[in-house]
Amino acid sequence: MKSFNQFIREQADQFSYEGMTTRNFDICPSALEAFTMNAEEGEIEDTEEFIDAVKAVDRYLGFEKEIVDQGFATSDDADLMSDMVSRAIEQIAEAGLEGHDYHQIHLDAVEELVNDDDDDDDDTEEDDDD
C-alpha cells in the first residue's frame, strides 16, 4: 500500500492542465518537462489538440508501465506500442508542439522485453528432425 507521501510525490510527477491530470508521466520526466514548457511558453494554439497530445503520451506510458510490470512483451505488444507512440507523435505535431524527443527510449524499453521465441522454435524443430 502506498503511503501518503508516496502518493503526493507521484502526483507531483504528473502533468495537470485544464482539469486533466496524467497518471503515467512519473516514468518520463522529459514528457513532463516538455508539456510544462509548452504550457508555460504559451505554445498552445488549440486546447483540445494539446490535451489530445498529452493523453496520447500518457496512454503509451501507461501501456509501457503494464508491460514492464508484466516483465515480458510479445511482438504484438511491441507493435501496439509502436502504433501508440506514432499516434502520440502525430498528435504532438497536430498541436504544433516542440521539444518532444523522448519517444524512442519508451519504444526501446518495450522492445527489450520481447522474448525472441521464434528462434527457439526453429531450433526445436531442427532437433526433432535428427
* Inter-CA distances, 125 with 47, 121, 129, Å: 56, 6, 7
How confident is the model at residue 20, as a pLDDT? 95
| 1 within domain boundaries | no
Evaluate whether residue 17 is within a structural domain.
yes
Cα separation, 94 vs 60, whole angstroms: 18
Domain enclosing residue 35, as ranges: 12-122
* Contacts for 16 with CB less than 8 Å, ≥ 6 apart: 22
| Average pLDDT value for residue range 86-104 | 97
Assess if residue 127 is contained within a domain: no
pLDDT at 124: 43
Q: Is the pLDDT of residue 48 over 90?
A: yes
3 assigned to some structural domain = no
Domain count, the chain: 1
pLDDT value for 43: 81
Residue 100 forms part of a structural domain? yes
Q: How far apart are CA 56 and CA 100, in angstroms?
A: 13
In a domain, 128, yes or no: no
CB-CB contact of 75 with 121 (8 Å): no
71 falls within a domain: yes
